[in-house]
Structure 1
Amino acid sequence: MTPPDSGTVPRRGWSIAVVLTGVFVSSLDLFIVNIAFPDLARSFPTATLSDLSWVLSVYAITFAALLAPAGRWADQSGRKRAFLAGLALFTLASALCAAAPSLGWLVAARALQAVGGGLMLPSSLGLLLPLFPLERRGAAVGLWSAMGGAAAALGPPVGGLLVDAGWQWVFLVNLPVGVAGVLVGAWALREVREESRTSPDVLGALVLAVTVGALVAAIVQGETWGWTDVRVLGLGAAGLVGIALSAVRAVRHPAPVIEPAILRIRAVALANVATMLFFAGFGAMALGAVLFLTQIWQHSVLRAGLEMAPGPLMAAVCAIPGGLLATRYGNRLVGCAGSLLFAGGGLLWATATGADPAYAADFLPAGIIAGIGSGLALPCLSGAATLPLPPERFATGTAMVSMCRQIGLALGAAVVAALIGTRPDLAAFHASWYFMAACGLAGGVAMLGVRDTGPRLVPVAGAVAR
C-alpha cells in the first residue's frame, strides 16, 4: 500500500476535520460520563459505586478488546469504511444510552458504544497521518492527541451543564455531531487499505475481553467481597489464565490481537507499557477528581466540572507543542518529563488537599501541573508507539496503543472504585492520588527506555518500515 501524498488528497481540510471530530467525540464521551456519576447514582439509587463503575469499565474493556482486530480489519478492508461504520454505530449507541431505563441497559448500550469507538479510533490516525508529509507527522500526532486533551477540557464543564438537564443529555450531545461526521466523511475521506488480507483473531479478542473483565471485576469487588473470598480469587485466576491464553494466541495466530512482530520493536513495546501505566493513573484521576469535589467538598456537579476544566485545558494547549518538542528532542525525554509532571500533580493532591475546600491553593495548582504533564506525554506515547511502524501498520499500531490506554483506564477506575467504594473518606482519596502518582512515575521510567534513533529499516510482519 502506498499512502496518498498529502498535497494531492482531495478535500484534505475536510478529511482532517472529520477524523479529528471522530476522535473528539469518542474522547469527550469519557469525560462527560465521569462528571455524570453523581447524577447516575441518584437515578439508580440501589446501585453501589462498584456497580456504577461498570458504566466506565465495560466501555474500556470492550473498547480494548476490539481495537487490535478492528485496526487489522481497517488496514485490510479500508480505513474509511471502518471509521464511518464506527462513527455511525457510536452515534446509534449514544441514543440507546440516553434511552436506558435501567443500569443494566445503560451498561449494555455502553458496550455497544465501545464497539463503535473500537472501529473508529484505530483507523483515525491511520487516515490522518498520510494527509501530512513525513517531516510533519510528529505534529500530526500532537494534533491527534490534542483532540483528546480538548475533549478532556470541555468534558467536565459541558457535562456539568448537560447534567443539569438530565444525565441522558451527556449521550444525546453526540447525535448531531455523529450524523454530520458520517455525512461529511462519506464525501470527503479517501479510502486507504492494505494489499494483503488475513482474518483478525476474533477468539483472541474475546479471550482478551474476558481476561481484562475478570481482573477489573476482582479489583472492583475485592474490598466488598474480601480479597481472600473465593470469588475474587477465582476472578484473579481466570485473569491469569486469560493472560497465558492471550500469549499463546499471539504466537500462533497469523493476525493476533497482540502482534509480537510489532512489539519486537523496542520503542513500540515500551511505549505501549508506558501508555498502560500512565492511563491507569489518568483513569484514577478522572474518576477520583469528580467524586472528591462532589463528595468530600460537596460541590455541585456543574461547579465540579468547571473546577476540573483547567487541567485538561492545559493538556490540550500543551499537546501540539509536546508533539513538536518530541520531533526535536525525542519522545523519550519529552514523554518522561510529561509523565513525571503528571505524577507530581498526583503527589501534590495527595499531600495538599484536605476536608475543607481550598480550591485555588490546594486543588488548582496540582490540576494544572498534571494537565501540562499530560499534554507533553500523550503525543510522545502515541508517537513512540506508531511512528516506527510502516504505513500499512498505522491503524494496527494505533489500535495497540489505544488498547493499552483503555486497559489502563479500566484498571485505574477499578482501583478508585475499590478504594472509595466502601469508605469514601479523605484518606481513600489520598490513596487514589498516590496511586495516580505511582502510575505516572512508572510510565516515565518506561519511557526512558525508548530509544529515538530516527528513520530506519524495521521488519514488521513481513513488511519493511522506514
Structure 2
Amino acid sequence: MVALAVFMTNLDLWIVNVAFDDLTHSFPGSSLAHVSWVLNAYAVTLGALLVVAGRAGDRYGHRRVFLVGTAVFTLASLACALAPTLDVLIGARVVQAAGAALQLPSSLALLVAGVEVGDRVRATRAWAAVGGIAAATGPVLGGLLVEASWRWVFLVNLPIGVLGVVAGRRVLPHPQAHPRTALPDPVAAVLAVLGIGSLVAGLLQGPAWGWTSAGTLTLFALALVSSAVVVRRCLTQPVPLVEPSLVRARGFARANAALFVFSIAFAIMLVSNALWCQQVWGYGPLLTGLAMVPGPALVPITTIASRRLVERVGPGALATVGSLLFGLGFVWRATVSSIEPNYLVDLLPAMVIGGIGVGLALGTLMAAGTTSLPTASAATGSALLNASRQVASGVGVAVLVTILTSWSPPSAPDAYRASWWVAAGLSLAAAVGAAFLHASHRSGQVAVREVHLARAR
C-alpha cells in the first residue's frame, strides 16, 4: 500500500508534463506563464513543506499523517479534474502538493517499521525504485490519458488513493509517535513558500510586465525580504526550519548547491521536450510520451549499474561526469534540432546521453549530501535535499517559460535552442560544483565531528 501511494505521487510529477500543451489549449486566453503555475504551484509547495511534514509524522504518528496525506492528495486530485477554471486548478494543485508532502516522508518510515531489521535495506531500495518505475511509465501513461482529456491525468489518482486509505487503515503498522517532538518553525515555512513563489512569479511576469516595472520589482523585493527573514529565523528560532549545522557541513552544502543547479536544468529538459514534440513537431500526447521514455528508463538502470563505480572513483568524479553528459545532451539538441521531425537523429541521442547523465549524477549528489551528515541529521538532510529539488523544478519551469515568452513569436524554435544552451550552462555549473565534493570529503567529515561535539556540549 505504501509503495502504491508513493507511486501515485511520483507518477503525478511526470504525467502532468505531458499534459502541459493540452492545458494551454483547454483554457483559451491564458498565457504560457499562467498555465505554468500548474507545475510551479505543486513544486514550490511540496518543496517548502517536506521538512515540516516529516517532523509532523514523528510527532503525530507516521501512520496517521500518511493516511491524512493520501486522503488530501486524492481529494485534491478530484478537485483538479473537476476544475472549471485555471485558477481553481492551480489552487487544487497547492492542496495536492500539501497532501504529497504529508505522505512522502512518512511512507518510508512506515515501510521500515513494517519489515524485519534484516530486510530494511532491501525495502528502502525498493521504495527508492518506485520513483524510477514512475519515471519510466509516466510519459506513456500520461500520453494515453491526455489523448482522452487532461482531466484523466488527475482522475487516475482516485482509485489508487481510495484503495490506499481503505487498505492502509487495516494493514499499515503503528510506529510509536513522539508527541514531544517539536515542529520546525511554521512561520519560516510559510515565508519560504511566499519567497520562492514571488521569485518564480517575477521570472514569469518579467517579459510581460517589463523587467523594471513596479510589479516585477515588487515581486523580486518580496522574494528577497522573505528569504532574508527565513535566514534570520533559522539562526534565532529554537527549532528552525533549516538547522544551521547542516549548512556548516560543507559536503552537504556543496552537494545541495550542485543538486539545486542540476535540478533546474532537469526541469527545463522535461518541459521543453514535451512542448517541443507537441508544439513544434506536432506530435500527439501519446507519441510525445513514447518519445520521452528512453531517458527516464535509463536513469534507474544507470544508477544500479554504477553503484560499485562510485566506490572506486568517488561521488565527486561520478557526479561531475554525469552532469557533463547531461549538459552534452542539451548541446546536442541545441546544435542538431530541426523543426522537421527527426527523432532518431535529434531527440533520441539527447535522451540517451542525458538519461545516462542523470543516472550517474542525480542519485550520487543525493547520496553525497546525505552521507556527509551525522546519522542523527540524515533524515532531515534527505528531506532538505528533496525540498531543494522541488524548489529548483519550479525555478527551472519559470526560467524556461521566461525564455519562450521573451521570443517573438512565442515558443519559436530558436527560443527552445536558447533554453537548451542555458540548461547546458547550468549542467556545467553543476559539474563544477560536483568536482568540489571530492575535495570536501575529508573536510566534510571534520564538520560532522564538529556537529557531534557541539551537540555533546
TM-score by length of 1: 0.88
Cα displacement (A) at 1:406: 0.9
Deviation at 1:390, TM superposition (A): 4.8
Letter aligned with residue 97 of structure 1: C
Partner Cα separation in structure 2 for residue 411 and residue 461 of structure 1: 37
Q: Which residue of 1 aligns with 2:18?
A: 35
**How far apart in 1 are the matches of 2:109 and 2:433?**
25
Residue aligning to 1:427: 414
Match of 2:305 among 321, 327, 332: 321
1:338: Cα distance to partner?
A: 1.8
Q: Provide the residue aligned with 2:360 in structure 1.
A: 376
* Pair 94,295 (structure 1): closer, same or farther in 2 beyond 3 Å: same
**What secondary structure is seen at the aligned counterpart in 2 of 1:114?**
helix
| 2:394 is aligned with 1:407 | no
User: Aligned in 2, Cα 1:302/1:460: closer, same or farther, shift over 3 Å?
Assistant: farther
The reply on whether 1:100 has 2:83 as its aligned counterpart is: yes
- Rounded to whole Å, the distance in 2 between the matches of 1:396 and 1:81 is 20
Report deviation, 1:237: 1.3
1:254 corresponds to 2:238 = yes
Q: Distance in 2 between matches of 1:357 and 1:449?
A: 40
String of CA shifts for 1:380-405, please: whole Å, max 9, x gaps: 12212323445554442222111100
184-193 or 410-419: which moved more?
A: 184-193
Q: Which moved more, 1:346-355 or 1:77-86?
A: 77-86
Q: Of 36, 43, 46, which residue of structure 2 is paired with 1:60?
A: 43
Question: 1:140-179, aligned counterparts within 5 Å?
Answer: 143-179=126-162
Which sections of structure 1, spanning at least 5 residues, go unmatched?
Answer: 1-17
**Match 1:215 to one of 183, 190, 199:** 199
Q: Which range moved further: 46-55 or 432-441?
A: 432-441
CA RMSD, Structure 1 to Structure 2 (Å): 2.7
Percent pairwise identity = 41
**Residue identity matched to 2:451:** P
For residues 421 and 146 of structure 1, do their structure 2 counterparts lie closer, same or farther at Cα, with a shift above 3 Å needed?
farther
Of the three residues 254, 275, 279, the one matched with 1:270 is: 254
Q: CA 1:367–1:158 in 2, change beyond 3 Å: closer, same or farther?
A: same
- Contact kept? 1:198, 1:254, Cα under 8 Å: no
Displacement of 1:96: 1.2
CA contact (8 A) 2:277 2:283 kept: yes
Pair 1:356 & 2:340 matched: yes
3-state SS, counterpart of residue 268 of structure 1: helix
2:270 pairs with one of 281, 286, 295: 286
The answer on whether the counterparts of 1:97 and 1:109 sit within 8 Å (CA) in structure 2 is yes
SS of corresponding position for 2:451: strand
Cα offset for 1:177?
A: 2.0
- Provide, for residues 369-428 of structure 1, a one-character-per-residue CA deviation record: whole Å limited to 9, x for no partner: 111111222221221232344555444222211110011000000011111135211111
- Is 1:115 the counterpart of 2:123 in the alignment? no
Cα displacement (A) at 1:129 = 6.4
- In structure 1, C-alpha distance between the alignment counterparts of 2:24 and 2:307, rounded to whole Å: 39
Q: Given the alignment, which residue of 402, 409, 426 partners 1:439?
A: 426
Shift in CA distance, 347/383, structure 1 to aligned 2, threshold 3 Å = same
Q: 1:275 to 1:395 in 2, by over 3 A?
A: same
Say if 2:110 and 2:172, in contact at 8 Å, map to a contact too. Answer: no
**CA 1:375–1:145 in structure 2 vs 1: closer, same or farther (change >3 Å)?**
farther
2:32 matched residue in structure 1: 49
Report Cα offsets for 1:57-92 as digits up to 9, x if no partner: 111111111112222223343333333322221122
Shift of residue 188 of structure 1?
3.5
**Once the 2 structures are TM-superposed, how far is the Cα of residue 94 of structure 1 from its aligned partner?**
1.0
Q: Is the 8 A contact 1:80 1:192 kept in 2?
A: no
Distance in 2, matches of 1:32 and 1:246, equals 33
- Cα distance per residue 1:144-166 (max 9 Å; x no partner): 54432322221111111001111
Choose the corresponding residue for 1:86, options 38, 46, 69.
69
**CA distances 1:184-240 after superposition (whole Å, capped 9, x unpaired):** 444134526568522321110111011001100011111111111111111111111
Per-residue Cα deviation, 1:320-354 (whole angstroms, up to 9, x for no partner): 33445435543322222222211111121111111
Query: 2:402 corresponds to which letter in structure 1?
Result: A
Question: Is the CA contact 2:2–2:111 (under 8 Å) kept in the aligned structure 1?
Answer: yes
Give the conservation status (yes or no) of the 8 Å contact 2:252–2:368: yes
In structure 2, the partner of 1:242 is: 226
1:441 to partner: Cα distance: 1.9
Amino acid at match of 1:69: V
Equivalence for 1:12 = none
In the alignment, which residue of structure 2 is the partner of 1:340?
324
Cα distance change on mapping 1:316 and 1:429 into 2, 3 Å = same
The TM-score, its normalising length taken from structure 2, stands at 0.90
Distance 1:405 1:292, change over 3 A: same
Amino acid at match of 2:319: G
Q: Is the 8 A contact 1:288 1:416 kept in 2?
A: yes
CA contact (8 A) 1:61 1:209 kept: yes
- Report the CA distance shift for 1:338/1:263 in structure 2 as closer, same or farther (over 3 A): same
- The answer (yes or no) to whether the contact 2:263–2:389 under 8 Å persists in 1 is yes
Partner Cα distance (2:452, 2:74) in 1: 35
Deviation at 1:268, TM superposition (A): 1.7
**1:93-121 deviation digits (Å, cap 9, x = unpaired):** 11111111111110010000000111122
Gaps in structure 2 of 5+ consecutive residues: none
Judge conservation of contact 1:76–1:195 (CA < 8 Å) in 2.
yes
Residue identity in the other structure for 2:148: A
Q: Secondary structure at the match of 1:351?
A: helix
Report the Cα distance in structure 2 between the residues aligned to 1:255 and 1:77, rounded to whole angstroms.
17
Structure 1 window deviating more from structure 2 (171-180 vs 33-42): it is: 171-180
> Once the 2 structures are TM-superposed, how far is the Cα of residue 125 of structure 1 from its aligned partner?
4.4
